[in-house]
Amino acid sequence: IQPDQLIREAKSIYAAMLMVENKCNEVDRQEDAKVRAGDIQHIPATRYKELVVLHRTLLYEQYDFFLACSHPAATPQLKLLPHKYGMPGRIWKSGIHTFLEVLRHHLPESLEHMLTFLHMAYGVVCLLYETIPSHKATWIECLGDLARYRMAVEERDAEIRDIWTDRAREWYYAATDIFPTVGRLYHHLAIVARQNAIEQLYLYVKSLTVDLIFTGTRESVLILFQTVSKETPNGGLITNVDYLFVQLHQMLFTKVDLDAAPAKMGYFLSLL
């Protein structure tokens, strides 16, 4: 294929993609507005299928555009177009995330269609990860996010939930290998570590102490502290060393009840 022919093909793909993307954005904005207004209405199964097909078409067009721009015959200018047009971010926002949020707000009736879309989107991003290495870090985080969504909606089979939890954790840790100073990634890891308060606390603290801190972590860590406090029987003395460890950090973080910290620290040390 000649470079001129490839440029024409890429332009054609982008034009088709733009039409589908605008349609997806329009539909998603309408549904999002209903959610924000508290007007979450029943959506017929046929409509869900139409929306899944629409967003699947967008993902396929976006993927084809990446392939055209990364073709061996592509000119240097053509290879730069995905970055110029912000395509990695657009794949996640307009192709995947906004629609997933629409589906999430319509659970449980949307569950079957959400699972269909999640698995399809996961497959497309896996292809991007394998064939478009120039944006590897973006694909890794996207795969972690998709695995986390899949984990979150699995309520029937604990084994399947654990599989997707492990998969999300693996992708996020792979992302931290590339960007070890991005706090957002440690916040994501903390979310998938909900069964382990100590691990969650460590990851939240990490999220707040790296170079690029994630400010949303402050609210998340307060929720963790509240959750741990509820584990205390009748508000009495904590006997579990892990929960006591978290509560000591709560005192330091919130600067509340610091006068009681020495006694609680002494009790904590006695349990070690």
Task: State pLDDT tens for residues 137-167.
Answer: 999 999 999 999 999 999 899 999 999 999 9
Residue 251 lies in a domain: no
Would you say residue 167 lies in a domain?
Answer: yes
Question: Average pLDDT for residues 228-238, to the nearest whole number?
Answer: 59
For residue 254, is it within any domain? Answer: no
Residues 241 and 264: beta-carbon distance below 8 Å: no
In this predicted structure, the answer to whether residue 22 has a pLDDT above a threshold of 90 is yes
Q: Answer whether residue 134 is part of any domain.
A: yes
Cβ(210)–Cβ(182) below 8 Å: yes
Amino acid at position 124, single letter: V
Tokens 């695995």 correspond to: 147
Q: What is the pLDDT averaged over residues 87-105?
A: 95
In terms of Cα–Cα distance, which of 165, 142, 34 is closest to 93?
142
Please tell me the total count of domains within the chain: 1
First CA to last CA distance, the chain: 69
pLDDT digits (tens, 9 = 90+) for 214-227: 999 999 999 999 88
Question: How do residues 170-216 score in pLDDT, each as one tens digit?
Answer: 999 999 999 999 999 999 999 999 878 899 999 999 999 999 999 99
Q: pLDDT-based confidence at 2, cuts 50/70/90? A: confident
**Percent residues over pLDDT 70 in the chain:** 97
In a domain, 256, yes or no: no
Q: Give a yes or no: residue 212 inside a domain.
A: no
Read off the pLDDT of each residue in 109-119 and give the average, rounded to a whole number: 97
* Predicted local distance difference test score (pLDDT) of residue 237: 43
Domain presence at residue 248: no
- What percentage of the chain exceeds 90 in pLDDT? 77
Average pLDDT for 80-90: 95
Residue 195's pLDDT is: 79
Q: Would you place residue 232 in the very low, low, confident or very high pLDDT band (cuts 50, 70, 90)?
A: low
| Domain around 106 | 1-178
What is the distance between the alpha carbons of residues 168 and 151, in angstroms, rounded to a whole number? 8
> For the whole model, what pTM was predicted?
0.89
Domain harbouring 125, CATH code: 1.25.40
Of the listed ranges 65-69, 112-116, 237-241, the least confidently predicted one is 237-241
